[in-house]
Amino acid sequence: MIPSRRQFLLAAGLLPLVRPLQAASQRVVIVGGGWGGLSAASHLRRLAPAIEVVLVDRQPAFSSFALSNRWLVDHGASQFVRQDYAALAASRGYRFVQASVDGVERAQRTVTTSAGRLPYDWLVLAPGIRENWAAWKVDDPQAVAELLQRHSGAMLNAADLPALKRRLAGFTGGDLLMTIPPAPYRCPPAPYERAMFIAWWLKTKKIPGKLIIVDPNPLMPAFRSILLDRFAEQVIYVDHARVREVDLARKTVATDVDDIRFDEALLAPPQQAADLIWQSGLIRRIDGGQASGWADQGGKDFRSVADERVFIIGDAAGLVSPLFGHFPKTGHIANRMGAIVARQIAAQTTGQTFPALLPESVCHVASSVDPLEYTRIDTSYRRRGDGFLLQQVRQTRQPNPAGEDVAWAEAMYRDFLLP
């Protein structure tokens, strides 16, 4: 018997996702509902109302890392931000599909998801990062799962933060190990800010514990005196030390400097572009064909070098300039990349022109606690005559903060997150 069209589509897994397209309509599929993907979806919806916009994420909700370090130790009245994708998509006018994307067939312009295949005209990949546990000689998926459950540093997925908060609340003393990933990693000041709040919490709660920080990078200057002097009794800072191996049974990490035993740990291995970028063959190769670990996309248009119909934004993005390397892996930059890519797709599909944008980033990072003091980090870009991007970073002390960090977050969320 010849199968009907409906039976054929059902068998191919297409039916749950495919909707009849209007004659001239084009479909943009966005994979990843983090800062980058949500921003691309919202801006596209505004700039090109006739395009069909489909957001795919394996999770049911967005969770935010921003301002989470104070919340982890209940400093001030900070809140944990979580937003349901289905409600957000309904209010902003795009479709949400909860599914895992397992591959991209670029020749057919289709993504394969756990809920079926999904054709696209334009594809925006914003899948964030993965953690490279193999660099610490942990290859077995079960061992990785156990490490994540017991000692994750919660830098991969903000939905893991409540579990980290519970683990910290259960820490009653001993050696609390915190590892910082080698650069580039997401939100460069975040681990130092987190370390400072944890040290403050150990001190004010009189917990008989030491925070041991293992850092392969140079210590960020804004945190030098607070971590090394002000909290000298709480903090042991192990400088320029790379973790080589982790032994969960012995609760020990082997580093360049020494073996370090811990009672509790926040482990954060080296970071790379998320699996999907590897599965799609979109990783940048360096001399000799070695994988760089990050995506291969343009520095100004974020178009994949391999495929002009595919854009890669957010933390997964790789090298953008030989002068400074990567854009800082921040939510603010991911938001701007989403807006830039939305403009390009809207221009190509609507025939309109939009002024070209360069990203920028603002970061309010607490650099002292009791009294609370912030450092505002402004990062901006301009094109040099030869076309290369130049980066300028300006740091300003905010000794009397008046909620600038909260105002920044609220402005960001108005752009892409609030229904």
Ligand X SMILES: Cc1cc2nc3c(=O)[nH]c(=O)nc-3n(C[C@H](O)[C@H](O)[C@H](O)COP(=O)(O)OP(=O)(O)OC[C@H]3O[C@@H](n4cnc5c(N)ncnc54)[C@H](O)[C@@H]3O)c2cc1C
Our finding on whether 187 is near ligand X (CB under 6 A) is yes
Q: Which amino acid is at 171?
A: F
Q: Which is nearer to ligand X, 68 or 234 (CB)?
A: 68
Alpha carbon distance 231, 202 (integer Å): 10
CB of 304 to ligand X, least distance (A): 15
Whether omega before 270 lies within 30 degrees of 0, making that bond cis, reads no
Total count of residues recorded for the chain: 419
Our finding on whether 282 is near ligand X (CB under 6 A) is no
Site for ligand X in 91-120 (CB under 6 A): 100-101
Using the contact rule CB under 6 A, the part of the chain among 182-190, 319-327, 352-360, 383-391 near ligand X is 182-190
CA distances from 202 to 77, 172, 199, 266 (A): 19, 9, 5, 15
Q: Which amino acid is at 311?
A: F
Helices marked H in 154-268 — which ranges? 161-169, 190-204, 224-225
- The one among 89, 124, 164, 276 contacting ligand X by CB under 6 A: 276
Our finding on whether 57 is near ligand X (CB under 6 A) is yes
Site for ligand X in 143-162 (CB under 6 A): 155
User: Within 10 Å of residue 13's Cβ, how many Cβ atoms?
Assistant: 16
CB of 331 to ligand X, least distance (A): 3
Tokens found for residue 280: 């799609």
Our finding on whether 363 is near ligand X (CB under 6 A) is yes
Whether omega before 184 lies within 30 degrees of 0, making that bond cis, reads yes
Q: Which is nearer to ligand X, 37 or 270 (CB)?
A: 37
Report DSSP letters for 309-378, one per residue: TEEE-GGG----BTTTBSPPB-HHHHHHHHHHHHHHHHHHHH----------EEEEEEEETTTTEEEEEE
Our finding on whether 32 is near ligand X (CB under 6 A) is yes
Our finding on whether 44 is near ligand X (CB under 6 A) is no
Q: Which is nearer to ligand X, 47 or 125 (CB)?
A: 125
Using the contact rule CB under 6 A, the part of the chain among 18-26, 29-37, 42-50, 214-222 near ligand X is 29-37
Q: What torsion, rounded to 10 degrees, do the Cα atoms 304, 306, 308, 313 define?
A: -10
DSSP 228: I
- The one among 177, 315, 319, 374 contacting ligand X by CB under 6 A: 315
Collapsing DSSP to helix, strand or coil, 383 comes out as strand
CB of 262 to ligand X, least distance (A): 20
Q: Which is nearer to ligand X, 138 or 277 (CB)?
A: 277
Our finding on whether 369 is near ligand X (CB under 6 A) is no
CB of 66 to ligand X, least distance (A): 4
CB of 184 to ligand X, least distance (A): 11
CB of 274 to ligand X, least distance (A): 5
Q: Enumerate binding residues for ligand X (CB under 6 A).
A: 31-37, 56-59, 65-66, 68, 100-101, 126-128, 155, 186-187, 190, 274, 276, 314-315, 329-332, 334, 363
